[in-house]
Copies of this chain bind each other. A is one copy, B any other.
């Protein structure tokens, strides 16, 4: 039998169109005119006008002063800022976090960026292992921890300077990276290979692997990783742990990006 081609769930056409408008306006570097909207959706200008008007009335679109074309409105800004994304991240990631912790039998952490720090927002401990550093709620520097560096993966030198200033960075241990240039290079590597490490750069005798969680394989919204005392976590374990962490980070990212669970 042929695969069902028609979607069983009917779509609300006008809502769908409105969201498409929102998307195209958001992704366009320029204000979008009514004609472009009508073209894009292949509908009449009057319809486009009414859709755009509703979006504008709700604050999702706006018109630059004097102009008649559309840009994103304040609602998008406000709503996405007021929303507690970390909460959502925790909910999605927690099962994976637990799985990771039990698989490897170490502590797994979930972190997000908060200013120039990484903030641990969740963790899962292997049952019989003594808790290591990095409790939920703790803030650690971005530039000298695996989680922090994972969160910085996409930053270039200019961006790093904006965050940390021109001067040298505080040296916590003998392994701490203190120059912006070196940090930029490290970030680049992390971006390439997909994970970051912490060779006792902040706390001594600790190792950590962390991978950025990306929305749509782009935007970094958090990081997931495993930490353990260097005694138990030897360098030879990096490949294995890193692979697992990357896989999990990727799965979480896919899920957050709205991957469908198609039967």
A interface residues (Cβ-Cβ under 8 A, vs B): 9-20, 22-23, 26-27, 29, 50-51, 53-60, 62, 64-65, 71-85, 87-88, 91-92, 95, 114-117, 119, 139, 162-163, 165, 215-216, 218-219, 221, 255-258
Contact = CB atoms under 8 A, between A and B. Distances in A.
A15 B54 contact: yes
A79 to B, nearest CB: 4
A72 B80 contact: yes
Nearest to A221: B77
Contact of A255 (B11, B65, B116): B65
Contacts of A77: 80, 85, 215, 219, 221
Contacts of A85: 72, 77
B116 A12 contact: no
B72 A83 contact: yes
A37 B115 CA distance: 35
A50 B230 CA distance: 53
A67 B180 CA distance: 44
Contacts of A88: 62, 64, 71-72
21 contacts: A9-B50, A11-B57, A12-B14, A12-B18, A14-B15, A15-B15, A15-B17, A15-B51, A15-B55, A18-B18, A23-B58, A65-B91, A65-B95, A65-B255, A72-B85, A76-B83, A77-B85, A80-B80, A82-B219, A114-B162, A115-B115
A73 B258 contact: yes
